[in-house]
Amino acid sequence: MHDRFDIQDVLSRYVRATDERDVTALAGLFAEGGVFRFFSRSGTGKYRPIGKPFTGPKEIREFVASWPPLPERVYLHHLTTDHMIEVDGDEAIMNAQFMVVPAVAAAEPEGGWPQGLRGVQGSATLTMIGIYDAHLSRIDGAWKLTRFDVLHSLPDPGN
């Protein structure tokens, strides 16, 4: 049971590193030779690749570093659910559903917030949804991603 929690923790660390654009932490989750791939689909149900695969922590770090910075007052939140994990010795497969919700914080008015205003100010909108399909290996006692596929359930018309 301990392996299951450690494996799920890899996904938790992935989504936090993605949300915070922590390229070092994200790349460090991958094994040497680990592959990071993206896919999308439309009404056909078949996944199509988005771009090229990225291999190994160095290439993955460079790819993630190329992501545009988040706009001011925008904070990402990746949510995962329905974690299915199969462990066979030092190999594992993990599959989970994901949603991405950007939160856009309202700008504080020039004169400050009105007196008596209560509650958080801003908005959140679901922008992505899909499945993470991951293969992992235990390497030197730590679980590392050997293949991580992001399977978007919405089409990417540019690919």
pLDDT, tens digit, 9 for 90 and up, residues 30-70: 999 999 999 999 877 789 999 999 999 999 999 999 999 99
pLDDT at 42: 82
Q: How many domains does the chain have?
A: 1
What is the Cα–Cα distance from 153 to 100, expressed in whole angstroms?
12
pLDDT at 156: 80
Q: Quick check: 23 and 64 in contact, CB under 8 A?
A: yes
Residue 2 is encoded by which pair of tokens?
A: 């301990």
pLDDT, tens digit, 9 for 90 and up, residues 4-35: 999 999 999 999 999 999 999 999 999 999 99
Q: Quick check: 30 and 60 in contact, CB under 8 A?
A: yes
The CATH number given to whatever domain includes residue 126 is 3.10.450.50
Q: Quick check: 93 and 86 in contact, CB under 8 A?
A: yes
What is the Cα–Cα distance from 152 to 159, expressed in whole angstroms?
12
| Cβ-based burial of 11 (10 A; exposed 0-12, middle 13-18, buried ≥19) | buried
pLDDT, tens digit, 9 for 90 and up, residues 74-128: 999 999 999 999 999 999 999 999 999 999 999 999 999 999 999 989 999 999 9
Q: Quick check: 77 and 66 in contact, CB under 8 A?
A: no
Residue 90 is encoded by which pair of tokens?
A: 């030092």
Query: Model's pTM, two decimal places?
Result: 0.91
Residue 158 lies in a domain: no
Helical segments of 28-159, H only: 56-65
Domain residue limits at 44: 2-108+120-152
Residue 114 lies in a domain: no
Residue 118 is encoded by which pair of tokens?
A: 């209560």
